[in-house]
Chains A and B, each alone.
Chain A
Amino acid sequence: MQTQSKMQLLWVEKYRPRKIEDVTGNDEAKALFIEWLKNKRHTKKAVLLYGPPGVGKTTLVMAAAREFGFGVVEMNASDTRSEKAINAVAKPATSYTSLDSFAEGAKSLGNVLFLDEVDGIAGNEDRGGVNAIIKIVEQSLVPVIMAANDPDIDKLRPLKKVCLLVRFQQVRIPLIIALLQKICLLEHVKAEFEALERIAQNSRGDVRSAINDLQSLSEENNSLTLQDTMMLSSRNKDVSMDETLRRYFSAQSIVETSSLLLFSSVDYDDLLLSVADNLPKRYTDATELAKAFDYVSRADLFRGRIGTENWHLLKYFNNALAEASAVNPESYKPFTLITPPIRIMTLFWTKPKRSLLQAICAKIGAKCHVSVERAREAYVPYIRLMLIKKPRNPLAAYFEFTPEEVDYLTKMGRY
């Protein structure tokens, strides 16, 4: 299967622990969860694993399924017509085709219902909120495992009545470094300690993102220096933008991206810029990149036409942007996002230089009947040379340049 071969490329999948004891960190949560599996599930039907993303919640469930021999049936908790499905799950694993093959060959405990990302439902009253989850738990004839990313546990508090809460925390930096070292050795990547340290620290305890960063940074050559990690985006920032971009670039179809764009709360202009910034990291093939950029360019055309009032054109903007995400779903590999927008960073760092040059060009323009831009193109290269050649050139006084401006011109270099 296509998706299978693609999955194997991902180190997060390749090195996903198969045994509970190999799941890194979160000793306390692991112990609580195992205790629930062994004893408590007879008294409390459900367990909620909650904590930041990428710390091993799903991994632990999968590993436990293997060791304890139960089938994992993933279900969309927001589907209100799921009553039938819930009951179907109650049949023993042997007679039920489990979505995962973990139970195969193991001494089966039956099936377990697994609801991932329940925070999305709990916070959404349209989908029934927390009560919808409680209802599912009550209806279910088999144990229920739930996972939530939301740090705001207050929303999920009411679930305490029906389930055991297990808190996951950020994985410790040394543990992440150790894991990265191990992967490097197995993948034959020569990595500087400082590089791995930076990836680990930057991940803020998120093992998944750390492994993804390691893979994307060392993909091209089998070495990794601290210098290579400098472009890592800090993960301590606008989560929704990161999440949107991550989902945008890994989308499998235009339909998927379209609905993402429809429901995303991020600013259109920021998104457009960030997509353009990251496009060459997503598409490394020149033909794909050119095609994707053509769509982004069209999206930008519509953005220009929308201006401040023609918002009815937004759908065309979204369509064009969605097309760019799905030029070739097969070629997707995880990569480190470039944020914040390059343009904003460039313009920020170069602002003092630019405004100095702007002032110089305005002075030239006033004397020579040209625009600032034309002055920059047809005068600055020559005036610069004349000032270098004759340091006390009367031209400086003629254009009323300040000493700072003269200094800048003589040192600016060729554009």
Chain B
Amino acid sequence: MAASEEALMWVEKYRPKTLDEVVGLKDIVDSLKAFMKNPKTMPHLMFAGVPGTGKTTLALAIAHTLYGPNWKSFTLELNASDERGIDTVRDRIKDFSRYSRAGFGGGDVPFALIILDECDQMTGPAQTALRRIMEVGSRTSRFILICNQSSKIIEPIQSRCAIFRFSRVEKQAMKQHLIDIAEKEKYTLLPEAADRIVDFSEGDLRHAINALQTASAYKDGVIDEKTVALVIGEASPMQVQKMIRKALYGDFMEARKTMYDIMGNFGFSGTEIIRQVQREIFKMSDLTPQQKADLSGVIGEYDFRLTEGANSDIQLSALLAQFAKFGKNIEDSYADAK
């Protein structure tokens, strides 16, 4: 289809193709460039950091740099959370290395590239299996492992990789980037509107650019703060907020119902819900910093149990029960104060 040739999503359209085009991330880009000069020296890489900070972009830029326009023939992109288990991952990597080696013809890059996203979603046993796969395949391929938290990756894998940590995109850089994109699309993004998007996205460039593109669909020419506020309001997760509030106000049953709603109707996994809960808690203006920190500790515990346990809905329910208790304690302390 003709329409599919040209990237319509701005995130893709303005994704840097080479390391030189990448804005910010100077230290990381410099180290990677050193590897690119003599690709044979490139080790397995691990990119760790919150979503939307350029991990995928850099991984794809490396593929471009190594293989040129035909990069897709030498690169396998896999998403750990989409594959149905480590066996599927193994099979796909096996098939790929067999096929890609045949196509090399003695070029100066003696390996194929495997980009494995969301590695931290893999269970312990799956990671152990992954480690074996990396060992066996290391002569013919290089891995770029992408994850949110490197601490969730087992030690033996970490020690086999050069680890790069990505911090949130710096506010001013993001603002400028958004204004630039708007200009290329023949829009004027007002500074207050840009600030609003930057604040909302919390350093996640993917959210920021998608919000910008959506706002552009609402208005021709100038994108103002009002339009941005409208888009942000409509796009932020209402159900997660509702679930947290119900729990804190002591209505556990309703909170749990909402949780099943989010899982059932929208198909979110327990891990994703807990990630959003963490985000939403920090947005809540009626909690003190201390309360937020306390809740965050509780969330962390159940985040861990979620990856180890068998049923994510049980772990989430247990978290909501903790919230209800927390809410009750706040209430009690108010009552005592009186």
Contact = CB atoms under 8 A, between A and B. Distances in A.
B273 to A, nearest CB: 10
Contact of B256 (A280, A361, A368, A394): A280
A342 B235 contact: no
A94 to B, nearest CB: 54
Which has the most chain A C-beta neighbours within 10 Å: B117, B211, B217? B217
Given A289-B324, A378-B52, A273 B314 contact: yes
A400 B4 contact: yes
B315 A297 contact: yes
Contact of B217 (A272, A273, A290, A385): A385
Classify chain A: how many residues form its interface, as a range. 35 or more
B224 to A, nearest CB: 16
* Interface residues of A, dominant DSSP: helix
Nearest to B316: A297
A290 B117 CA distance: 35
B21 interface: no
B253 interface: yes
A389 interface: yes
Interface string B227-250: 000010011111110000000001
A287 B268 contact: no
Interface string B45-77: 000000110001000100000000000000001
Contacts of B302: 297
Interface in A322-351: 342-343, 346-347, 349-350
A346 B264 contact: yes
A269 B236 CA distance: 35
A357 B267 contact: yes
Contact of B267 (A276, A358, A386, A394): A358
A266 B214 CA distance: 52
Interface string A342-380: 110011011001100110011001011111111011110
Contact of B322 (A273, A290, A374, A395): A290
A414 interface: yes
B1 A400 contact: yes
Q: Max chain B CB contacts within 10 Å: which of A289, A290, A372? A: A290
A354 B81 CA distance: 17
A185 interface: no
Given A368-B9, A385-B234, A390-B217, A415 B3 contact: no
Nearest to B123: A304
Given A280-B256, A346-B260, A378 B265 contact: no
A304 B327 contact: no
Nearest to A285: B328
B328 A286 contact: yes
Interface in A294-313: 294, 296-297, 300-301, 303-306
Contact of B214 (A272, A354, A386): A386
A301 B56 contact: no
Query: How big is chain B's contact interface, by range?
Result: 35 or more
Contacts of B12: 367-369
B9 A377 contact: no
A9 interface: no
B309 A373 contact: no
Interface in A312-326: none
Interface in B133-170: none
B97 interface: no
Contact of A296 (B77, B265, B268, B318): B318
Contacts of B211: 382
A287 B204 contact: no
Contacts of B236: 381
B240 to A, nearest CB: 8
Contacts of A381: 234-237
15 contacts: A276-B311, A280-B252, A289-B324, A297-B305, A343-B313, A346-B261, A347-B264, A349-B264, A353-B265, A371-B81, A371-B118, A373-B268, A382-B213, A385-B231, A398-B8
Q: Which 3 A-B pairs have the closest CB atoms?
A: A350-B264, A290-B325, A297-B318
Interface of B: 1, 3-4, 7-9, 11-12, 51-52, 56, 60, 77, 79-82, 117-118, 204, 206-207, 210-211, 213-214, 217-218, 231, 234-240, 250, 252-253, 256, 260-269, 272, 276, 302, 305, 308-311, 313-315, 317-318, 321-322, 324-325, 327-328
